[in-house]
Amino acid sequence: MRRSRPVRGAVGTLAALGLMAAGTAAVAPAAQAKAPVTLKVLYMNQAGYTPAVVSKIVAQFNASHPGIHAVVTFLPYPEMHDAITTSAAAPTATYNVVLSDLIWTAEFAARGYTIPLNKYLNKLANSGAIPPAIWNGFKYDGKIMAMPFLANFQNFYYNKAILAKAGFTSPPRTMAQWLHQMEVIKAKGIVKYPYEDSWLQAEGLTCDYVRTAAEFGGTLFVDGKPAMNRGPALQALEWMHMLYAKGLAAPASLEADEPHAAAAFTSGQVAFNTNWTFVTGLMDSKATSSIVGDGVVAPFPTYNGQGSGSVSGYQGLAITANTPPSLRPAAWTFIQYATSPAIIGQHLQSEWPIWRSLANSPQEKAILGARNVAVYEDNLAHVQNRPIVPNYLQVSAIIQKYVHMAIAGQMPVKQAADAMVQQIEALPAIP
């Protein structure tokens, strides 16, 4: 077995380990003392913590825990929620440990698909070892529904060579500057479309809308009520439509998902891309990029030029409620192992770590660069969570439909925003 890389630095890490161990000391040995059990894990086929990385973690776990045999299944994102739902519908769970997106937290809690992990995590959640913003993505009604695993969020990416050709030496800090840079790049014919985003009618579109509203200094929901037809959320929708109508955003954005939009950026076709952290690795690899050395990650431009504005895509590991009680300690043992600083610390090149001690570690700075670490922390500090409500997927489906129509000009922006609010308010609550 390959030896794990020692993780240095880390009073915080040791403290975190201690807290996790304290929370589970009574559980883990019991699980390992029993006869070998099979633990079924559902994970997402994605760019951050790839299937290869997770398979390695699972192999390490199996080797070090002879009493438990973890088997992992990988599915693409669009199939994850539905696989968890059908698993919940079975008398006994198809999957015992599942990767849970933060947008499912409220639904899974309200419907009881996964179990609260408070008894394991209360102390850790209050320790400060993981930023509170990440915990908030997995809390609903006082229950902690998952242990954070991925601290994914969006970054602003630009091509400095294209900006230089257009006569700009620094990235935009305000929305007005960004618009000006895009107009100049297009007018000079450096690229046909300066920007591409993932506006396919899917969850990525909701993420981009939430993030754009954050750039304008607001959110889609105010005091728990939909507020798309006024203030920053309406400005965001007008902005997205304007970019499309002026030919500043590539028309292909309307059918692009995140990897597609990232490919347009890394192939040098567009100057700007707003995307998840995986683009950082993608743009600097000769295997996946033709702009190596020219791609730069930066804080997002904002309306007033202050701070940044991002959107979260946190993912955690949860235990399904129809996992037999006898198997739950083993499930927690796996979660504890996979999310531990020691394991996360082995894969710093794959994903931004959930642990503060690792995010500030010399290893992370060596991998990402001190400047990029600062940018990441800035964007993470200004992240907006999508609404944590039990009927989120219905809310998001309505948002996707009308935002897509508004961008494409199939419905006036204000009319689309009003329709969104009206339909969201009319949704029946999930019992």
Q: Shortest Cβ distance from residue 423 to another protein (Å)?
A: 9
By rule CB under 8 A, what string of x and - marks binding of each residue 131-160 to another protein?
------------------------------
Q: Are 57 and 338 in contact (CB under 8 A)?
A: yes
Closest CA to 338 of 133, 118, 97: 97
113 binds another protein, rule: CB under 8 A: yes
Q: Shortest Cβ distance from residue 125 to another protein (Å)?
A: 24
As a whole number of angstroms, the distance between CA 292 and CA 295 comes to 7
Which of 40, 65, 81, 139 is in the footprint of another protein by CB under 8 A? 81
| H or E stretch covering 274 | strand 272-276
32 binds another protein, rule: CB under 8 A: no
Which of 36, 78, 305, 412 is in the footprint of another protein by CB under 8 A? 78
92 binds another protein, rule: CB under 8 A: yes
Stretch that binds another protein, among 61-69, 81-89, 235-243, 373-381 (CB under 8 A): 81-89
Q: Shortest Cβ distance from residue 188 to another protein (Å)?
A: 17
DSSP, res 429: P
53 binds another protein, rule: CB under 8 A: no
| H or E stretch covering 48 | none
Per this entry, what is the length of the chain?
431
86 binds another protein, rule: CB under 8 A: yes
Coil, strand, or helix at residue 365?
helix
Nearer to another protein, 65 or 328 (CB): 328
By rule CB under 8 A, what string of x and - marks binding of each residue 241-280 to another protein?
---------xxx-xxx-------x----x-----------
Which of 57, 202, 271, 411 is in the footprint of another protein by CB under 8 A? 202
By rule CB under 8 A, what string of x and - marks binding of each residue 366-405 to another protein?
-------------------------x-xx--x--x---x-
Q: Are 195 and 270 in contact (CB under 8 A)?
A: yes
Percent composition of the chain: helix, strand, coil (DSSP 3-state, to 5): 50, 15, 35
β 68-75/37-44 pair status: parallel
Q: What angle do CA 72, 319, 147 make, to 5 degrees?
A: 95
As a whole number of angstroms, the distance between CA 164 and CA 235 comes to 29
Q: Spell out the residues 6+ positions from residue 115 whose beta carbon is closer than 8 angstroms to its own.
A: 318, 319, 320, 321, 323, 328
DSSP, res 374: H
Which of 88, 214, 383, 421 is in the footprint of another protein by CB under 8 A? 88
* Site residues (vs another protein, CB under 8 A): 78, 81-82, 85-93, 107, 111-113, 192, 200-202, 250-252, 254-256, 264, 269, 320-325, 391, 393-394, 397, 400, 404, 408, 410, 430
